[in-house]
């Protein structure tokens, strides 16, 4: 197997709809302002999907689950992650692990970190490490306008024979 690393970033502004729930890391956060987006706007799950997809060479969240596809309207981050993992494994890829960091002032991840990591790990059937940070009042996350997340994924892709003469192995 050939190890590949992918990076994913996602950002969503807070919604103007006071009834929209906040979905972060596969969980709903009662009492917190929701994020605007086509799906549930779970920035943690979306960044993870992008990291997994780029590591495997399958594109990105938009190419796999575009906003022009009504089937994914309102979809949960957990369902997007599970489907991403399914599509990766269909190519023969294996997920090593994902590390993801939420960037924003709230919600406070610490009290639910284990629950969130477990939920994310179950969605992709691989280890997930979750952390969080603030930006000390700087930028859109610091001003409380939205949330962001950055993820790194390790994916193992099968080696395929080189279509070029010489018989060396390389990824195709």
Q: What are the boundaries of each domain within the chain?
A: 2-170
The list of the chain residues with pLDDT below 50 reads 172
For residue 107, whether the previous peptide bond is cis, meaning omega lies within 30 degrees of 0, is yes
Q: CA angle at residue 84 from 82 to 88, to 5 degrees?
A: 115
State the pLDDT at residue 169: 53
Q: Which residues contact 121 (CB under 8 A, 6 or more apart)?
A: 127, 128
For all residues of the chain together, what is the average pLDDT? 92
Fold of the 2-170 domain: 60s Ribosomal Protein L30; Chain: A; (3.30.1330)
pLDDT reported for residue 89: 97
Whether the CA torsion 140, 58, 98, 25 is positive or negative: it is positive
What CA–CA distance (Å, rounded) separates 150 from 101? 5
pLDDT of residue 163: 59
pTM beyond 0.85: the answer is yes
Rounded to whole angstroms, the Cα distance separating 46 from 38 reads: 12
In this predicted structure, what is the pLDDT of residue 170? 53
* Sign of the alpha-carbon dihedral angle for 62, 132, 156, 87: negative
**Do the beta carbons of residue 102 and residue 130 sit within 8 Å?**
yes
């Amino acid at each position: 197997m050939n190890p590949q690393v992918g990076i994913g970033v996602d950002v969503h502004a807070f919604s103007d709809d006071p009834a929209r729930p906040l979905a972060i890391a596969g969980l709903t956060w009662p009492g917190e302002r929701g994020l605007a987006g086509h799906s549930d706007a779970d920035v943690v799950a979306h960044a993870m999907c992008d990291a997994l997809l780029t590591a495997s060479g399958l594109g990105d969240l938009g190419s796999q689950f575009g906003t022009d596809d009504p089937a994914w309207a309102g979809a949960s981050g957990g369902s997007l992650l599970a489907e991403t993992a399914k599509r990766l494994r269909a190519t023969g890829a294996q997920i090593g692990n994902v590390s993801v960091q939420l960037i924003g002032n709230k919600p406070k991840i610490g009290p639910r970190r284990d629950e969130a990591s477990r939920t994310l790990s179950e969605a992709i059937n691989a280890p997930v490490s979750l952390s969080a940070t603030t930006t000390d009042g700087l930028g859109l996350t610091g001003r409380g306008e939205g949330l962001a997340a950055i993820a790194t994924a390790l994916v193992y892709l099968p080696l395929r024979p080189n279509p070029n003469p010489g018989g060396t192995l390389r990824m195709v």
